[in-house]
Chains A and B, each alone.
Chain A
C-alpha cells in the first residue's frame, strides 16, 4: 500500500510557494451573469455619442468612478466601438444639472431638464444620443483566515492563509434622448473567491470580479446600443 507522505523541511518551502499558488489559481475564478431587458430598438451613428454616468445619490454607497471609467473604456474600444463622452467633463459642462441631488432620476425629469434651453443646447453640442446610468457596488464577504508576519535581525517572513468573496452587482439603464424614454437595462452579477496564501511571502490570488463585471457589462452595452443586442 502506497501512502503519500509529505515531510515539511525548509528545502520544501520554495516548492510549496510554487505549488500552492498553482492550486489556488485554478480555484480563484469568477462567475459572471448578465441579463438584458430591451424595451425599444436602438441604433447609433459614428458622429453620435453616449455618456456613462454613475448614480451617486444613495446613502450607503456610490457607484465607483473607476468602474464607470472602466465600462466607458470597454465601450469606446474594439470592434463596433462607440464614442463615449468623459463623465467628469460632462458633469462639469452640465453643472449643476447632473449633481447627486439634482440629477434626473426618471425620464420624466429628463423632459423637464430638456425644457431648460441652456441644458438642452449643451446636450446637443455634445451630440449625445443615449445617457447610460450605472448603479451598483462590489461587496466583500466571507473573510476568513489569518496571516502573521515577523521580522528579525536574520530576516523576516509571513505564514498563514486568508480568503474572501467579492460580489459585484451593477445595473445599467439606458435613456434615449430623442424619445426621452428608457430603452432598456442590462444587469450584471459577478462573484468570485480570492485567496492569499503566505509562505515566507504573501501571494495574492485575486479573483477579478469587478474587472469581469466591467468587461461583461461594457461589451453587452456596446451590442445593445449598436442595435445587435438580443
Chain B
C-alpha cells in the first residue's frame, strides 16, 4: 500500500513538473503573427511606363518584434513581408503599363525597354495593441521609403510614405486576428495613397513631363 502511494505520488510529481515546464516554455515564447490578406487591384488609368521592381531581402522578409514592456522579452513577432509583396504585385501592374520583377538592381541595365526601376523599403513599423494603449482598437503604422531610379542607377525620386490602419477590438477576437485586420487596412491605405499620389510627387511629375509620359 505504501509502495503504491509512493509510486502514485512520484508519478504525479513528474506530471506536475512536465506541465510546469510546458507552461513556462509557452509563457516565454513569443507569438508569431503572419500577416495575410488579399488586395483589390486599384481602379486607375495606367501610366505608359515599363517599370522594373526590386524587392530587397529586408523588404521581402520584413519582420517586426513587439517587446513585452514588463519582462523585456519578445512578445509578438509580426511577419509582413509576404503580404507587402502580395500588395505591390497587385498594385504596380494596375498603375504601370508593364512591370518586370528584378533579381537585383544591377540586372536593370541588362534589360531593354525599362523606363525606371522602383525600389520600395520599410523604414519603421509600429503596432498599437489595446492591452498597451488602453484604446479599444488594434493599430498599425508603417513608414516606407520609396525610390524610383533610372536604369543606370541615378535616382529620379526618393520619397517617404506612411500607412495607417486600425481595427476595432471585438469580443473573443484573438490578438493575431486584430493585428492582421489592422495591417490589412494599413496596406490598403498605402496602396490608395500610392496609386492616387504617385504622379503628384514633384520629382516624378517633373520626370514624367520631361520624358513626355504625361499628357499636358
From A62, A101, A119, contact of B43 by CB (8 A): A119
Closest Cβ–Cβ distance, residue B41 to chain A (whole Å): 7
| B168 touching A62, Cβ below 8 Å | yes
Chain B residues with Cβ below 8 Å from A95 are 40-43, 188, 191-192
| Cβ-based interface call for B45 (8 A) | yes
| B43 touching A94, Cβ below 8 Å | yes
From B41, B137, B168, B189, contact of A99 by CB (8 A): B189
Chain B residues with Cβ below 8 Å from A122 are 43
| B192 touching A99, Cβ below 8 Å | yes
Task: Give Cα distance in the complex from A159 to B45, angstroms.
Answer: 64
Which chain A residue lies CB-closest to B192? A96
Chain A residues with Cβ below 8 Å from B137 are 62
| Cβ-based interface call for B195 (8 A) | yes
Task: Give Cα distance in the complex from A118 to B166, angstroms.
Answer: 28
Chain A residues with Cβ below 8 Å from B41 are 95
Task: Give Cα distance in the complex from A118 to B137, angstroms.
Answer: 34
| Cβ-based interface call for B29 (8 A) | no
| B192 touching A102, Cβ below 8 Å | yes
Task: Give Cα distance in the complex from A90 to B191, angstroms.
Answer: 17
From A64, A92, A101, A102, contact of B168 by CB (8 A): A64
| Cβ-based interface call for A157 (8 A) | no
| A92 touching B189, Cβ below 8 Å | no
Chain A residues with Cβ below 8 Å from B43 are 93-97, 118-119, 122
Task: Give Cα distance in the complex from A224 to B193, angstroms.
Answer: 35
By secondary structure, the A interface counts as loop
Chain A residues with Cβ below 8 Å from B45 are 117-118
Closest Cβ–Cβ distance, residue B142 to chain A (whole Å): 14
Task: Give Cα distance in the complex from A97 to B188, angstroms.
Answer: 11
Task: Give Cα distance in the complex from A117 to B45, angstroms.
Answer: 9
| Cβ-based interface call for A229 (8 A) | no
Task: Give Cα distance in the complex from A99 to B184, angstroms.
Answer: 12
| Cβ-based interface call for A41 (8 A) | no
| A101 touching B166, Cβ below 8 Å | no
| Cβ-based interface call for A100 (8 A) | yes
| A96 touching B191, Cβ below 8 Å | yes
Task: Give Cα distance in the complex from A61 to B169, angstroms.
Answer: 11
Closest Cβ–Cβ distance, residue A68 to chain B (whole Å): 13
Could you jot down 15 A-B contacts, CB within 8 Å?
A61-B168, A62-B166, A94-B43, A95-B41, A95-B191, A95-B192, A96-B42, A96-B188, A99-B189, A101-B193, A102-B192, A117-B45, A118-B43, A119-B43, A122-B43
Closest A-B pairs by Cβ, 7 of them: A96-B192, A92-B40, A99-B192, A95-B40, A102-B192, A96-B42, A118-B43
Interface residues of B (CB under 8 A from A): 40-45, 137, 164, 166, 168, 185, 188-189, 191-193, 195-196
Interface residues of A (CB under 8 A from B): 61-62, 64, 92-97, 99-102, 117-119, 122
